Amino acid sequence: MSLKSIVRELKEMRDGIGSMSRRGGVSDGRAGHGRGGSRHSWPSLWPEPQPQPQRPGQEPQQQGQWANLPPELLIDVIQRVESSEVAWPARRYVVACAAVCRTWREVTKDVVKTLEECSRITFPISLKQPGPRDCPVQCFVRRDRATSTYLLYLGLSPSLHGENDKLLLAARKIRRAARTSFVISLISDDFSHSSSTYVGKLKPNFLGTKFTIFDSQPPCDAAVLPNNKPSKRHSKQVSPRLPLGNYNVATVSYELTVLRNRGPRRMQCTMHSIPAVCIQEGGKAPTPTGMVHSLDEQVSTLSTSSKGKEPNIEFSSTSLTADLSGPISTSEAPLLLKNKAPRWHEQLQCWCLNFRGRVTVASVKNFQLVASVDPSLGVPAAEQEKVILQFGKIGKDIFTMDYRYPLSAFQAFAICLTSFDTKPACE
């Protein structure tokens, strides 16, 4: 059987799983995306294998006619599919391989390398992994003013009809009495904290000068230092449907403008979960390899690592989320990012930056971030001038976002969302 026939068979199996989910009343992730929605959303492309009912005492069996392939043949098939489908939407066939059964899923996860190594976004965990070192990941953001929604897509610019645009992340601006916040999700129609698609959130202060980025799961090789006061009432039982905690992974600060002089914004990002030494030659940024979908998984992981001791996490019975607002504690100093200073163009009478053609409209929201490292680390000057994240406007409600190592797509998107919030003390 040829490779194309195998891929075609996998696609039919994936469509069959999706149709069973729709008959059971589960949405396939395409409806409700609005005008800026995408056909390629994470839930519809990475379904969980449906367990078959088993009789008492009967051993569970793997699904599908492809589950009993020899391991050598299975690895070869998935490697061929992974190497041939390098871009979306064809990349969906790699995801379809992971949806066949548990064996295929584990082999696919072993074959597919991290984003830093292969420069390809495949699974949702790729959005939490550092970008490639050599070339940036090029994305664009579409803003919907009516619904206060911001959609992050993979690609240079929007396609003609939007059918081939790969939706990576979505954010919605939630307005409350005192302040606003941004909730980030994997899909554009569910921003609930209790949803499995919840990724994190962004919270500003009252003046709009400081923003805190919260991740839904703790970063790798880091400890959380909570500074919030515990509630008087606590519940010892944790439901599997409870959402994840919120972990402070980064802080974005804007310089306070006292005299209200017009000019470019000045910002600084403190990445609590990324050590500054990771940008040195041979350095390594924390790279997660799996998603945590509930507090139960989180507690079980912490319980295993604590050798029988109770995990140091408290859950309030009056709140669904465990808001660990303290910064992530690492053994090294955190990475600091600062915006690259623009130069004043006398003929154009405006501030200018070299975006290499990726930004075409002047806006106060445009910025470039570079590393601000201590001279004792010995980082070359060329590495310090390398743009890690750039964001700018190319049209009405359309912006480009390019990021690279050591930032992830989630961190870069959250930093860019700070440009959309009102900053009365900075403008």
Neighbours of 330 (CB within 10 A): 20
CA distances from 373 to 122, 277, 278, 355, 384 (A): 32, 9, 11, 22, 8
Give me the pLDDT at residue 374, please: 81
User: How confident is the chain (427 residues) per 10-residue block, as mean pLDDT?
Assistant: 62 54 40 45 50 51 69 92 90 91 91 93 94 94 95 85 81 86 94 91 89 88 44 38 72 75 79 91 86 50 40 35 54 88 80 88 91 82 88 94 96 95 64
Q: How far apart are CA 80 and CA 249, in angstroms?
A: 37
Instruction: Kindly calculate the radius of gyration of the chain based on its CA atoms and give it in whole angstroms.
Output: 23
Compute φ and ψ for 366, nearest 5 degrees.
-70, 135
**Residues with Cβ within 8 Å of residue 70, at least 6 apart in sequence:** none
Please state the domain extents for the chain. Answer: 65-112, 124-220+243-257+264-280+332-419
Give me the pLDDT at residue 162, please: 61
Alpha helices in 85-226 (DSSP H): 92-98, 102-111, 115-118
CA distances from 382 to 136, 279, 371, 379, 388 (A): 16, 12, 11, 8, 12
Among 209, 169, 200, 213, which Cα is nearest to 327's?
213
Give me the pLDDT at residue 84, please: 92
The pTM for the full model equals 0.77
Give me the pLDDT at residue 426, please: 57
Q: What is the fold of 124-220+243-257+264-280+332-419?
A: Tubby Protein; Chain A (3.20.90)
Neighbours of 120 (CB within 10 A): 19
What angle do the packed helices 71-84 and 102-111 form, to 10 degrees?
Answer: 50
Compute φ and ψ for 180, nearest 5 degrees.
-115, 165
**What single-letter amino acid sits at 148?**
S
Cα atoms in the 13 Å half-sphere on the side-chain side of 347: 0
Give the angle 293-45-414 at the CA atoms, nearest 5°: 55
Residue 350 three-state SS: strand
- CB–CB of 170/188 below 8 Å? yes
Instruction: Give the H or E element holding residue 401.
Output: strand 398-403
